[in-house]
Amino acid sequence: MKFVKPLTLAAILSVTMVAHAGTIFSFADSWGLITTFDGTTTVGTVDPNNGNCIPFLCNTSNQIANADYQQVYAAGSFGGPTSISSLGFYFQSFGGSSLVIGGNYSVYLSTTSASVNGLNGTDLALNRGSDWTFFGSFLAGTDTNPMITINGSPFSYDPANGNLLVEIFGLGQASVCNGCGNGYMQVDTSGSVTSRAVSYSSSAVPEPGTLLMLGTGLAGIAGVVRRRLF
């Protein structure tokens, strides 16, 4: 099933709030989800003995939390400049639920200077490029079996400028531990063409002063949007 919704002011506020929440834990390693771009370019080789449940099918923080999942893809995996309009991820047939766990999900893309196995696993914001852009979103409850396809606004990517970064936010993600009836997605564990960084943070609300500043900024954005549209 395919779900996409436009970027809203609420989405901007929600993602901004992640940066103001306390980190529970974070890490980076050599694993990465098998990913197909626009139904034509697949990055990664399936490890038949392993699977990855983050960020779609589990939350390993043991509490309701905000999940920030990043994955870098080697520029050499792409034949040249391309416009990315869809991402596809595949369910691994190990059993368990294939439904995306509860949360509010959004996806961002950017070029990155980070290398495969070189993502910063402590401060994920440092992995983003200057062209970091909202791509699209999907819904909790989406069935990932046999795959989940996320359609979004076309993103122009030129491998000559660096590797590709895909970032998935799961805000207020349900607490579903790894091994608690969850399913898994197909994964590449070689660390040769893709790798990941993951951070979980508390879903605490920013202080009133912070909310006031954010609200003022968003009001300005809303004004710009209205002027452009009307």
Q: Collapse the DSSP code of 52 into the 3-class scheme (helix H, G, I; strand E, B; otherwise coil) and give the result.
A: strand
Q: Note the pLDDT of residue 13.
A: 46
* Cβ contacts of 20 within 8 Å, gap of 6 or more: 204, 206, 210
- The pLDDT assigned to 163 comes to 99
Backbone angles phi, psi at 62, to 5 degrees: 65, 25
Q: Average pLDDT in the 187-207 region?
A: 86
Question: Residues of the chain with pLDDT > 70: what percent?
Answer: 79
pLDDT at 67: 98
Q: What is the pTM of this model?
A: 0.82
For 81-139, write each residue's pLDDT tens digit: 999 999 999 999 999 999 999 999 999 999 999 999 999 999 999 999 999 999 999 99
Listing DSSP states for 138-207 in one string gives: EETT-B-SSEEEEEEEEEEE-GGG-EEEEEEEEEEE----TTSSB-EE-EE-S-SSEEEEEEEE--PPPP
Residue 204: band (very low, low, confident or very high) from pLDDT cuts 50, 70, 90:
low
Encode 17-35: b = buried (16+ Cβ within 10 Å), e = exposed.
bbeebebbebebeebbbbb
Buried b / exposed e along 133-165 (16+ C-beta atoms within 10 A): bbbbbbebebebeebbbbbbeebebebeebbbb
Q: pLDDT confidence of 203, banded at 50, 70, 90?
A: confident
Question: Quick one: pLDDT at residue 85?
Answer: 98
The CA angle 183-184-190, to the nearest 5 degrees, is 165
Which two structure tokens, joined as six digits, stand for 216? 């003022």
Each domain of the chain, given as residue ranges in start order, spans 9-229
Determine the length of the chain: 230
pLDDT given at position 216 = 46
pLDDT beyond 90 at 16: no
Arithmetic mean of pLDDT over the chain: 86
Q: Which of 1-10, 81-90, 98-107, 201-210 has the lowest mean pLDDT?
A: 1-10
Residue with the larger pLDDT of the pair 10 and 26: 26
pLDDT for res 2 = 37
As a whole number, mean pLDDT of residues 139-154 equals 98
In single-letter form, the type of residue at position 49 comes to N
- N-terminal to C-terminal alpha carbon distance within the chain: 33
Average pLDDT over residues 176-202: 97
Q: What is the pLDDT of residue 222?
A: 46
Taking only the tens place, the pLDDT of each residue in 44-85 is 999 999 999 999 999 999 999 999 999 999 999 999 999 999
User: Span 150-170, mean pLDDT?
Assistant: 98
Query: Rounded to whole angstroms, how far apart are CA atoms 110 and 35?
Result: 16
* Band (5; pLDDT cuts 50, 70, 90): very low
Q: In the structure, what pLDDT confidence band is assigned to residue 215 with cuts at 50, 70 and 90?
A: very low
